[in-house]
Structure 1
Amino acid sequence: MRVYADLHVHIGFSNGRYIKVPSSKTLTLENIIKTAKDEKGLNVISIVDFLCKDVIDETDKLLDKGKLELKDGSLYSEGLLIIPAAEIELRFCSNDFHCLIFFEDYEKLKDFRKIIKTYFNQIDFSCPVFRGQISDFERIVSSFGLLAVPAHAFTPYKGFYSAAQRVEEVFKKIEVFSIELGLSADSKMVSYLCDVQKRSLLSNSDAHSLKNIAREFNEVEIEYVSAKDVIKSIKENRIVANYGVNPKLGKYHKSYCKECNSSFNLKSQDLILCPFCKSNDIVIGVEDRISWLYKTENPVEKPPYFYTFPFELVQGFGQKTIQKIIDVFENEINFIKSLNNGTFKNYNIDENIAQKLVRFMNQDYTVKFGAGGHFGRIIFE
C-alpha cells in the first residue's frame, strides 16, 4: 500500500510550556494531529521533538484518555500513524548541522532518553545540542537501531552540506540510508550528486506552524502502517514520489548579499563576493551549494518530484480562495494529487481559479526567486 507522510514536523507548545521559541501556542500535539488528518490528508506524520519530557508526558496523558493508541510500539490517532523522532544538532570540524533520528518503538524512545540525556544540552527544548563526538553519536544510533537522516541537508543554516562535502566524511560507522532535501531543492537538482545515488530522498515540511504541515511530503510504499515498516521502506529506497514547493520559491534558493539585499548565483566558490557591492557578507544559496558538491556522470533516476501549491506564495490566492478549494477537495493532498494528474478540471471550481490552476500545472507563470531567508513568489502576468 501507499501512504502520504510528512516526516519532519515541530511541536511549539506542549504540556503548558514552549518547546520551540518562537512559535504559536496553537502548535500543539493535538492540533498537529487534527490538522494532519482532517485538513492535510496525511496518513503518517513524524514529530521531531519527542526527546522533550513535556511531549512524552503529554503523549502519555493522551494515551491514558484513549485519544491515542499504542499498538506494537507504534502510536496512532484514528488511523494516523505518529512516528516519534528527534532533530538534534551535531558538530563536525567546528561546523554545526542538524540530523533527524527516528524511533520504531515508543517505549524504546523513553529508554533512549533516560540513557543518553547526559549527552545533550537543553534536551527538553526543540533541537537539543549533542555534546559528544560524531563517533559517540554513531555508537548510540547503532546500539538503538535508529534511522539517522541529515536534515534540510542543502540549506545554508545548519544544513549538512554547509558542514561537509560528503556523507562518508562525517559518518564512518553507521549507514546513512536517506537525505532530507529541505526547502530550495528538489530531486532533479541533486540527481547528479554522488551522495544521493544509492540513498532515498525525503521531502518533509520542517513545519513550524500548522499551515505548513504537508507543504512537503512523501508518497511511500509500505507493507503495514507502522513505524517499523515506514522506516524499513525508507531504508529500502521505496519512496514512490516526492512532493514539495518549486525550489525556485525556497527562501535559500539563490545566494544573497546581506549588505545590499541582492540575490544572484556565485561564479566560484573560491571568491565568495557580491557581484554588485563586493561585500563578503553572503548567504550561500542552495543552487550554488549543490553545484559545488561531488558529482557522478551516470546518475540513478530518482522518483518523480511533484510541486505542491504554495497558496501564500501565489498571486491572487487569499484565505477565501484557499477555503473554497479545500471545501471542494476535502483536504490539501487530494487537491495536490488532482492538480498533478489534471483531474481537478472535473471538479466544480470557479472559472478564474481553474484558469490559474491550469497555468500553474503548465508552469506558465513568472517566478520571483527566493533568497536570503525570503520566500519567492509566483506571479501570473
Structure 2
Amino acid sequence: MNAFDADFHIHVGRALGKPVKIAAGASLTLDNLLHHAAYVKGLDVVTVIDGVCDNVLVEVERLVSDGLLTPVAGGGLLFEDRLLVLLGAEVELSGPLGGAAHFGCWFPDVERAKDFNQWLKTVQKNTQLSSQRAYTDATALAAQTHERDGLFIVHHAFTPFKGMLGNCVRRVGDFLDIHEVDALELGLSSDSAMADRLSELSELTFVTNSDAHGVNNIAREYNRVRMQDLNFTEVASALHRKAGRGIEANFGLHPQQGKYYRTRCRVCDELVAENEACRCATDKHHVYGVKDRLDDISDLVEPSHPSHRPPYIHHVPLRDIPGVGPSAYRKLLEAYGTELAIARTADESTLVDVVGDRVGCVIARALRGEFTWEAGGAGTYGKIIF
C-alpha cells in the first residue's frame, strides 16, 4: 500500500470568466487550483467540489482535450501525471425541521458528472453556481449519486450555517438513513475527539478537508489515505475501509482556530457561555458555536473512538504562523519544495538556516504545538498566542 495526501473539498471561484462559488476568490480558477494543489501544497488527490457546475465542466473538458487532464483506469483524472482529480458537486438541501445543510457528491468520470449535472437541472434553478438549493430530499440526492457510482458525503457536519448536525437536526437519522452516507466531513471547528461523542457516528469514516475558497487555503485540512493506486475506485475503497485501504490520518486545524468553535456575539464580539448574556444583553446576534452545539447534542460525556478511527493530527497552516510573511514563505518553498514537505520534514535547525533564528524558532514551536489559542467564533478565526 501507498500513502497519499488528499483534500476532497476545494471550490472554484470563477470559470469561463463567470462566478461559480460566490464567496470564493476570483483567482481560484480551475487552472490555479490544480497547479497550486500539486506544486505548492504537494497534494496527491483533490476533489474539485464545483466540478459538476456548467462552466467548470466546460473547462474540465478543455483540459482533457489539451491533454493536461487524463482519464484514469478505475476513475478520476490525472493532472500532469501527478495529481488525481475527482469531480464533485456541493448541493444544499432544506432540513426537515428548518435550516439547510450541504452535501458532497463525487463522481468517477466526466460522463457521469455531466449526467448528474443534467439531473440537477431538474431540481436546481442555476447549475452554473456552486452550493445551490436543490428541491429534493437527502434520500433522493444520495440515490442519484449512487446510481452514477458516486460517493455521498456530509459536508462540515457541525457548523452553525449549512451543517446538518449544527444547523438542522440532532441525529443523522433525523435527516436520512445513515447507511446512505459514504463519509462525514468534520469541518474546521471540530475534530475526531469532539465528533466521537456522538455514538451514531462510530461506523462512519471521518474526512478532513479545506473547504477552500482561495488558493492559499487549499490543504489547510487534508487526509492521508492508504491506497494501492491513484484512482476513484481506490478512494471509494478507502472511505469504506475495504481490502486494507483506509484513512491513515486526519490532518486538521486545532478546533479553537475554527471560526465557529465557540458561541459568540456578532455585535460586541464577546464569547458567550451557556445561559449567559453578552454585553448586548440579548442573544439576537449570537452564533451558536460548534463546541457548544456538540456539548448539547452528544450522547457521550467522553469520546469513544472506534478501532478503525485514525489519529487526528492538529496543525497550523504555514501562512497562519506569526512571522511567516511573503519573503519567508518564498524561502521556505524554495528550500523544501511544498508546504506539506515542510510539515513532514522540517526541524528547527534547518528552519533557522532558511529563515533566521526568530522566524525559524516560531515555526518550529508551531509545528510542535507549543502555543495556546484565543478561540474563534461567529465567523472570526481563532488566533495563535505564543
1:276-311 CA-to-partner distances (Å, cap 9, x unmatched) read 443112100111111122334643253122223334
Equivalent residue of 1:334, what SS? Answer: helix
Query: Which stretch of structure 1 is more off in the superposition, 204-213 or 66-75?
Result: 66-75
Q: Which amino acid in the other structure matches residue 246 of structure 1?
A: H
- Letter of the 1:360 partner, please give it: A
Once the 2 structures are TM-superposed, how far is the Cα of residue 275 of structure 1 from its aligned partner? 4.4
The one of 114, 128, 134 equivalent to 2:138 is 134
Whichever residue aligns with residue 306 of structure 1, its letter is I
Q: Distance in 2 between matches of 1:50 and 1:361?
A: 33
Q: 2:150 aligns with which of 143, 146, 149?
A: 146
**Correspondences of 1:1-381 after superposition (within 5 Å):** 1-72=2-73, 73-78=75-80, 79-93=82-96, 94-161=98-165, 162-172=167-177, 174-236=179-241, 238-266=246-274, 271=275, 274-281=277-284, 282-296=286-300, 298-300=304-306, 302-338=309-345, 343=347, 345-346=349-350, 348-349=353-354, 350-380=356-386
TM-fit CA distance, 1:346: 4.8
- Mapped to 1, the partners of 2:70 and 2:100 lie a distance apart of 36
Amino acid paired to 2:182 = F
Question: Is 2:343–2:367's contact at 8 Å kept on the other side of the alignment?
Answer: no
Q: Secondary structure at the residue paired with 1:56?
A: helix
Distance 2:94 2:322 in 1: 40
Residue pair 2:265, 2:278 contacting (<8 A) in 1 also: no
- CA distance in 2 between counterparts of 1:361 and 1:218 reads 17
Contact 1:256 1:371 in 2 (8 A): yes
Alpha carbons 2:106, 2:152 under 8 Å: kept: yes
Scaled by the length of structure 1, what TM-score is found?
0.91
**Change beyond 3 A, Cα 1:62–1:14:** same
CA distance in 2, matches of 1:40, 1:91: 35
For the 8 Å contact 1:257–1:263, the answer to whether it is kept is yes
- Give how far 1:123 is off: 1.3
* Matched AA of 1:176: V
CA distance in 2, matches of 1:359, 1:233: 33
Judge conservation of contact 1:121–1:131 (CA < 8 Å) in 2: no
Partner Cα separation in structure 2 for residue 323 and residue 70 of structure 1: 33
Give 1:332's aligned amino acid.
Answer: E
In structure 2, C-alpha distance between the alignment counterparts of 1:361 and 1:212, rounded to whole Å: 18
Unaligned runs of 5+ in 2: none
For 2:132 and 2:79, the matched residues in 1 are separated by: 27
CA distance in 2, matches of 1:155, 1:4: 24
Distance of 1:133 and 1:370 partners within structure 2: 32
Contact between 2:146 and 2:152, CA under 8 Å: does it hold in 1?
no
1:2-44 C-alpha deviation (Å, 9 max, x unpaired): 1000000001111221112243332111111110111000000
Identical aligned residues as a percent = 29
- Cα distance between partner residues in 1 of 2:182 and 2:25: 33
CA contact (8 A) 1:311 1:318 kept: no
Structure 1: runs of 5 or more not aligned: none
**Native 8 Å contact 2:190 2:255 kept in 1:** yes
Q: Secondary structure at the match of 2:180?
A: coil
Alignment partners' CA distance in 2, 1:198 and 1:238: 13
CA 1:344 to 1:306, structure 2 compared with 1: closer, same or farther past 3 Å?
farther
Amino acid corresponding to residue 38 of structure 2 in structure 1: K
Amino acid at match of 2:58: D
Displacement of 1:368 in angstroms is 1.5
Query: Mean alpha-carbon deviation: is it higher for 313-322 or for 44-53?
Result: 313-322
Cα separation, 1, equivalents of 2:71 and 2:115: 16
> Is the CA contact 2:120–2:127 (under 8 Å) kept in the aligned structure 1?
no
Using the size of structure 2 for normalisation, the TM-score is 0.90
Query: Partner letter of residue 28 of structure 1?
Result: T
CA RMSD of aligned residues (A): 2.0
